[in-house]
Amino acid sequence: MLSISNLHASIGEKEILRGLNLEINAGEVHAIMGPNGAGKSTLASVLAGREDYDVTSGSVVFDGKDLLDMAPEERAAEGIFLAFQYPIEIPGVSTTNFLKTALNEIRKYRGQDSLDAVQFLKLMKEKMKLVNIDQSLLSRSLNEGFSGGEKKRNEIFQMAMLEPKLAILDETDSGLDIDALRIVADGVNKLRSPERATIVVTHYQRLLDYIVPDYVHVLYKGRIVKSGPKELALELEEKGYDWIKAEAEAI
Amino acid sequence: MTPSYASYNDFKEQLLASFRDNEERMNGERKSPLHQLRRSALKQFEQLGFPTIRHEEWKYSNVNSLIKENFALDTASSLTAEDLVPLEIPNLEGNILYFVNGIYHPELSRIVSPSEQVQITSFADSIKADTEFMGAHFARYADYQDSAFTALNTAMASDGVVVRVPANTTVDQPIILRFITDARISNITSQPRNLVVIGKNAEVMMAESYRTLGENSSFVNVVTEIVLDRDARMQYYKVLNETAKAYHIGTTQVHQADNSHFYSASITLNGQFVRNNLNIVLNGQHAEAFMYGLYMPNGRQHVDNHTLVDHAMPNSYSNELYKGILDDNSTGVFNGKIFVRPDAQKTNAYQSCKNVVMSPGASMNTKPQLEIYADDVKCSHGTTTGQLNDEALFYMRSRGIPKDEARTLLLYAFSQDVLSQIKIKPIREYLEGVVREKLTK
Ligand SMILES: Nc1ncnc2c1ncn2[C@@H]1O[C@H](COP(=O)(O)OP(=O)(O)OP(=O)(O)O)[C@@H](O)[C@H]1O
Ligand SMILES: [Mg+2]
């Protein structure tokens, strides 16, 4: 589904991704861990199409198409979704209005009819239950004055509404209380299917207890330096990153 | 018969000559106090002359190109009801008055409110027939000593509307003034004059809308005086959706007594050169004024909003929010004065002006001016001018919303803070439509 090879990306003079390789198949969940500043959010942003980054070499193929060639909105319509580490406030636009526009733009791209108000509301009700989110939050300006946890939950709600093929969750667990963490994880798990894949960026094993990954990768200095089964996350939790750093520097 | 002044190449001379010529044709009225007042206004205009950019109040708004245009002072028009159809605001009901080249046209207009609720007459009729009332109010509020354009209007105005709302009355239908300039054949100028006097504990909604037809230049110089007696309430909207060759200079002068409430929205959608003055005197305790504004110039349009709130008595309140979206090579000016007099203790005055500049060629000048002479007051003001938030745009695009649509959505939301204040639904919906269209263009 997603094939990243030798990806280099920089911002200004600073190279952040330095030859990153990653293969993801449909149906899989991949966890990406790694120390602060390693480039995890950068990878997520580059995949979503943030224009601040220059991709200097390498390729990203998504479902047989060159992802790097597409505008952010095209990537979304092709099925990429990024749950932001720091969701942005959109003054004056309610979540409901925002999602209705987004969903119908995506449908238009795919040649589908737009949903009318009734169909949209029905879908919304359904997904609201899934992530246990309140109507009153959805009528407010998107993310404006939302608590940290509300923002994260809203990201997952958006994901549920847009049903992406590849969801990238960038530290969606940070700032969530235990109950919210379980709800968010439940939401993600319910969307798991053989056609979809998920990348979970996290610092903590805690989330991976709920969203059990097929693979765990360690990103360090702009590269995936170690990959392993879910047990790798436990090992990292126990031992920290020093041994990985030492291994990586030795190469 | 209307004489032509085409031989005058100086606009000021042309206007002065026109005044004298009209005076020639007057009989006994010439000696009336009202006419004497207009004479002194003319003298004032003659002395002041058109302002230059050396004038502090006109620093960023240059009227030079306006003065150089050649305008006919002729008000004749062949406009028919049919020509107005495309200008109609869908579903709008109420008292709808049409003024063509500044002159009231009863045959195009419709007054539906009963006269016990409100008396709506033309300025032309009132100034002739109701000299006592006009003597008591006309030019009593809008100062013409320091403003050339107000002086000019005070001297020259021939028509407009006079609205009187008796005490303890709610006018349940809005009053809509539609000023149409018919510039299909030549450059046209007009000087409308309106007077609104609202009795104790009475309530009314009024809107002024300005449109120009045709390809030629137009210049409207309007003055509206509004007086609210104690406990009176008014919703007042001014809407400009003019052509790229339309000049507009307007002053709305508001005078408020105890516990009166004035709500205004000033919306400038289009126009070559626009100057809106909104002056409010809070001359009563617990008087409240709310001022909203939205302007969205593009091309080479210039929009200047000057507001002045004069807190003259204790315990009064004012709240102001003006918002601008500036595109292409347009320019905008916001000048907001708040004046708190020594006696006006416990004044609350809030002012905010927010602008989004969409292109490197567009620019905005903002100048809040607070002059506070009382010590126990709450005042705040703030202006921001910036670009659309890139982070927000990326966030929206990452959800599948194309860039242009994302921009439109953000800007439309930005404009809603002002448009949502408009209580006459058909006008609000009309404006929302025009704003949306302008943003998607
Ligand atoms: N706009 C920018 N300008 C300059 N440097 C940047 C910019 N964005 C990211 N960086 C730098 O790139 C590096 C990688 O940042 P990134 O946000 O991808 O890290 P991360 O792995 O997500 O870290 P964390 O775990 O703290 O979220 C950091 O050193 C960061 O300071
Ligand atoms: Mg990060």
Q: Across the 441 residues of chain B, what is the mean pLDDT of every consecutive 10-residue run?
A: 47 91 82 92 95 93 90 84 93 97 96 98 94 95 96 95 98 98 93 98 98 95 98 98 95 98 98 98 98 97 98 98 98 97 96 97 96 95 94 96 95 96 97 95 77
CA-wise closest residue to B267 among B298, B297, B227:
B297
Q: With contact defined as beta carbons under 8 Å apart, do A217 and A22 qualify? A: yes
Structure tokens, A34 = 């790694």
| Three-class secondary structure of residue B360 per DSSP | coil
Residue with tokens 């919703």: B235
The interaxial angle of helices B403-419 and B390-397, nearest 10 deg, is 120
Give the Cα separation of A83 and B395 in Å (integer).
Answer: 10
Region A196-212: what's the mean pLDDT? 91
CA-wise closest residue to B155 among B59, B12, B360:
B12
Provide the b/e sequence for B325-340 (b: ≥16 CB within 10 Å).
bbbebbbbbbbbbbbb
CA-wise closest residue to B298 among B434, B183, B181, B157:
B434
pLDDT digits (tens, 9 = 90+) for A205-234: 888 889 999 999 999 999 999 899 988 888
Beta strands in B341-389 (DSSP E): 347-357, 363-372, 377-386
Residue with tokens 């200004």: A12
Residue B425's pLDDT is 97
Write out chain A residues lying below 8 Å of B398, CB-based.
48-50, 72-73, 75-76, 81-82, 84
Region A235-245: what's the mean pLDDT? 85
Asked if the structure places residue A18 within a domain, the reply is: no
Q: With contact defined as beta carbons under 8 Å apart, do A132 and A183 qualify? A: yes
Burial of B9 (0-12, 13-18, 19+ CB in 10 A): exposed
Structure tokens, B271 = 């126009």
Count CA within 13 A, CB hemisphere, residue B134.
22
CA B135, B139, B140, B141 dihedral sign is: positive
CA of residue A41 to ligand 2 center, whole Å: 4
Write out chain B residues lying below 8 Å of A105, CB-based.
400-402, 405
CA-wise closest residue to B150 among B48, B73, B8, B24:
B48
CATH for A78: 3.40.50.300
Give the Cα separation of B245 and B187 in Å (integer).
Answer: 10
Asked if the structure places residue A55 within a domain, the reply is: no
Between chains, do A102 and B413 touch, taking CB under 8 Å as contact? no
Provide the b/e sequence for A148-183 (b: ≥16 CB within 10 Å).
ebbbbbbbbbbbbbbbbbbbbbbbbbbbbeeebbeb
Residue, of A177 and A124, whose pLDDT is higher = A124
Residue with tokens 């109701």: B130
CB of A98 within 8 Å of a chain B CB? The answer is yes
Question: Residues lining ligand 1, CB < 6 A?
Answer: A 11, 14, 16, 34, 36-42, 52, 85
Report in angstroms the alpha-carbon separations of B390 from A138, A141, A148, A241, B393: 23, 18, 21, 35, 5
DSSP B107: G
Asked if the structure places residue A6 within a domain, the reply is: no
Write out chain A residues lying below 8 Å of B399, CB-based.
76, 81, 98-99, 102, 158, 162
Phi and psi dihedrals of B137, rounded to 5? -120, -35
Residues in CB range of A67: below 8 A, 6 or more apart: A2, A47, A60, A61, A75, A78, A80
CA-wise closest residue to B352 among B364, B340, B336, B365:
B336
DSSP string computed for A59-108: EEEETTEEGGGS-HHHHHHHTEEEE-SSPPPEEEEEHHHHHHHHHHHHHH
Which domain, by its residues, includes A175?
23-50+62-250
Residues of B with CB under 8 A from a CB of A: 389, 391-392, 394-403, 405, 409-410, 412-414, 416-417
The interaxial angle of helices A117-131 and A178-190, nearest 10 deg, is 130
Question: Please, which contacts does A233-237 make with residues 24 or more away whose CB atoms are closer than 8 Å?
Answer: A233/A31, A233/A33, A233/A205, A233/A208, A234/A205, A236/A33, A236/A205, A237/A204, A237/A205
Q: What is the dihedral of CA A183, A184, A188, A191, to 10 degrees?
A: 60
Q: What is the dihedral of CA A125, A128, A132, A133, to 10 degrees?
A: -110
Q: With contact defined as beta carbons under 8 Å apart, do A167 and A81 qualify? A: yes
Phi and psi dihedrals of B354, rounded to 5? -125, 135
Q: Kindly give the pairing relationship between strand A54-62 and strand A2-11.
A: antiparallel
Neighbours of ion ligand 2 (CB under 5 A): A 40-41, 85
Is the complex ipTM higher than 0.90?
Answer: yes
pLDDT digits (tens, 9 = 90+) for A6-56: 999 999 889 999 999 999 999 999 999 999 999 999 999 999 999 999 999
Q: With contact defined as beta carbons under 8 Å apart, do A197 and A3 qualify? A: no
Give the Cα separation of A96 and A76 in Å (integer).
Answer: 18
Q: How many domains does chain A have?
A: 1
Provide the b/e sequence for B406-422 (b: ≥16 CB within 10 Å).
bbbbbbbbbbbbbbebb
Split at pLDDT 50, 70, 90, the class of A251 is low
Residue B9's pLDDT is 57
Quick check: A79 pLDDT over 90? yes
pLDDT digits (tens, 9 = 90+) for A172-190: 988 888 888 888 898 889 8
Picking from A72, A99, A141, the nearest residue to B398 by CB comes out as A72
**Total residues found in chain A within this entry:** 251
Helix or strand run (H / E) with residue B48: helix B33-48
Mind telling me how many Å the CA of A42 is from chain B's nearest CA? 14
Q: With contact defined as beta carbons under 8 Å apart, do B306 and B275 qualify? A: yes
Give the Cα separation of A170 and A102 in Å (integer).
Answer: 20
Residue B336's pLDDT is 97
* Nearest CA residue ID for atom 30, ligand 1: A37
Q: pTM of the prediction?
A: 0.91
Structure tokens, B102 = 């500044």
Write out chain A residues lying below 8 Å of B400, CB-based.
73, 76-77, 102-103, 105-106, 109, 162
Q: Across the strands, what pairs with B280? A: B254, B309
CA-wise closest residue to B60 among B365, B415, B329:
B365
